[in-house]
Amino acid sequence: MKQSQLFTKTKKEAPSDEVAKNAQLLIRAGFIHKEMAGVYAYMPLGLRVLENIKKIVREEMNGVGGQELMMTTLQPKEIWEKTDRWDDAKVDNWFKTKLVNGTELGVGLTHEEPIVDAVSNYLGSYKDMPFAVYQIQNKFRNEKRAKSGLLRGREFLMKDMYTFSRDQKQHNEEYEKIVKAYFRVYDRLGLGEITYRTYADGGIFTPRFSDEFQTLSDVGEDKIYVDEKKRVAINDEIFTDENLEKLGLKREDLVEKKGVEVGNTFHLESKYTDALELFYSDEKGEKQSIIMGCYGIGVSRLMGVIAELFADDKGLVWPENIAPFSVHLLNLGEDGEAEKIYAQLLKNGIEVLFDDREAQAGQKFADSDLIGIPYRAVISKKSLAAGGIEVKKRNESESKIMTVEEFLQLLKK
């Protein structure tokens, strides 16, 4: 797309009340707009990144047999009363609203109850299981403080998956399959090596630990202890000798780190299915409890984590597979040749942001660094004289002159 037509523009300053680096950079580069603390709108560049992350998450969830659906934001209180999660004294971060007739409604903060309620229309027999459903949808949580940009939102995009299994064996198979898919997601996002499966509290209704997926970061809110050899970690909140022994971890192998939770997976046992009276019939026709798992990935949080972690002092640095465009093509006064090369890249299916604006070279370079598209390709009198376009990767310092054909070869790798 032509940058002269993109309605957003870069800014020198972020709003003075914005303290998180990820949000500061994303606002300055025109990716997001702050509606209020913890609530951000996605401008075209930001939406493109978000959609690219969604695509990766969706492909991996489909890959383990997940069936995508879309639950509702408005929630009837009855189903939440059955699990004792309606009362604000029990769950303190609800947003609630009312119908004109006064009926109280919830604004979806998670979806275990409505998922079980929907599934109960269809699930009856042991033959129906196992299966996994998921959605990628906004969640609403009434957080007291929301100062970390996209890392902790009041309205944020989440992938939540739920599995239904006939017994623990079937549940464990589903659970481990999904944990593997989680690491494929983090690998594809460039976070695999710094993200740890981290044992955490499982909740009061299971004897098991839950798993958090913690990406190492200085801005992380969680304290974790990492065993780098075993590639696992344990959350500070369950860091006791008893638990270390259960998990086969040794104090001397562990290093304290800060992490951002970019996913979590829980064993729900039959807490929700029992409470909402969803059972199945086994081979003998006998009524049995259903074992559930639930599996979250913070999609917009991941965008914030990646913005924050990969940025340098000049701006954002996007990994290639989630960048808003692959190439930032800068025309420095060679309109005819630049238009031709732009058309040629588009024809080859390359996603290009074409800086065709009437602006100083310095402004174009600074904007390009701030926006953080993986390849910068400059067309100038100098580059043409040297034989083509001057190509530089955002995360490298050396540029190189190449022909369009050579550049296309490089992009196709």
Please name which of 309, 308, 301 lies closest in space to residue 153, comparing C-alpha atoms. Answer: 301
Alpha carbon 395 to its chain's center: 22
Binding mask 5-44 for its own copies (x = CB under 8 A): xxxxx-x------------------x--x-xx--xxxxxx
Strand 327-331 with 352-355, pairing: parallel
Q: Out of 83, 109, 126, 128, which residue is the one contacting its own copies (CB under 8 A)?
A: 128
* Least distance between its own copies and beta carbon 137 (Å): 9
Could you say whether residue 140 binds its own copies (CB under 8 A)? Answer: yes
Q: Out of 96, 180, 246, 340, which residue is the one contacting its own copies (CB under 8 A)?
A: 96
* Least distance between its own copies and beta carbon 125 (Å): 11
Q: Out of 12, 17, 102, 121, which residue is the one contacting its own copies (CB under 8 A)?
A: 121
Could you say whether residue 52 binds its own copies (CB under 8 A)? Answer: no
Query: Pseudo-torsion of CA 255, 256, 260, 262, nearest 10°?
Result: 40
Could you say whether residue 97 binds its own copies (CB under 8 A)? Answer: yes
Give the tokens for residue 227: 């065993």
Segment near its own copies (CB under 8 A), from 87-95, 173-181, 262-270, 274-282? 87-95
Could you say whether residue 404 binds its own copies (CB under 8 A)? Answer: no
Q: Are 127 and 286 in contact (CB under 8 A)?
A: no
- Residues 365-379 as b or e (16 or more Cβ within 10 Å = b): bbbbbbbbbbbbbbb
Could you say whether residue 125 binds its own copies (CB under 8 A)? Answer: no
Of residues 254 and 322, the one with the C-beta less far from its own copies: 322
Q: Out of 91, 95, 205, 258, which residue is the one contacting its own copies (CB under 8 A)?
A: 95
Site size toward its own copies (CB under 8 A) is 57
Alpha carbon 268 to its chain's center: 22
Cα–Cα distances in Å, from 113 out to 60, 275, 328? Answer: 24, 9, 45
Could you say whether residue 142 binds its own copies (CB under 8 A)? Answer: yes
Segment near its own copies (CB under 8 A), from 101-109, 185-193, 199-207, 394-402? 101-109
Could you say whether residue 324 binds its own copies (CB under 8 A)? Answer: no
- In whole angstroms, give the CA distance from residue 315 to residue 10: 11
Give the tokens for residue 156: 């944020």
Of residues 155 and 369, the one with the C-beta less far from its own copies: 155
Could you say whether residue 91 binds its own copies (CB under 8 A)? Answer: no
Q: What is the DSSP letter of 387?
A: T
Could you say whether residue 69 binds its own copies (CB under 8 A)? Answer: yes
Of residues 76 and 203, the one with the C-beta less far from its own copies: 76
Q: Out of 144, 229, 251, 413, which residue is the one contacting its own copies (CB under 8 A)?
A: 144
Could you say whether residue 177 binds its own copies (CB under 8 A)? Answer: no
Query: Pseudo-torsion of CA 318, 324, 325, 330, nearest 10°?
Result: -80
Residue 58's φ and ψ, nearest 5 degrees, are -60, -45
Burial class (CB in 10 A: 0-12, 13-18, 19+), 197: middle
How big is the chain by its Cα radius of gyration, in Å?
24
Q: Name every residue whose Cβ is closer than 8 Å to that of residue 412 and which is 6 or more positions away in sequence.
A: none
Could you say whether residue 72 binds its own copies (CB under 8 A)? Answer: yes
Could you say whether residue 282 binds its own copies (CB under 8 A)? Answer: no
Interface contacts to its own copies, rule CB under 8 A: 5-9, 11, 30, 33, 35-36, 39-44, 46-47, 50, 65, 67-76, 92-93, 95-101, 105, 107, 114, 118-119, 121-123, 128, 131, 133, 138, 140, 142-144, 154-155
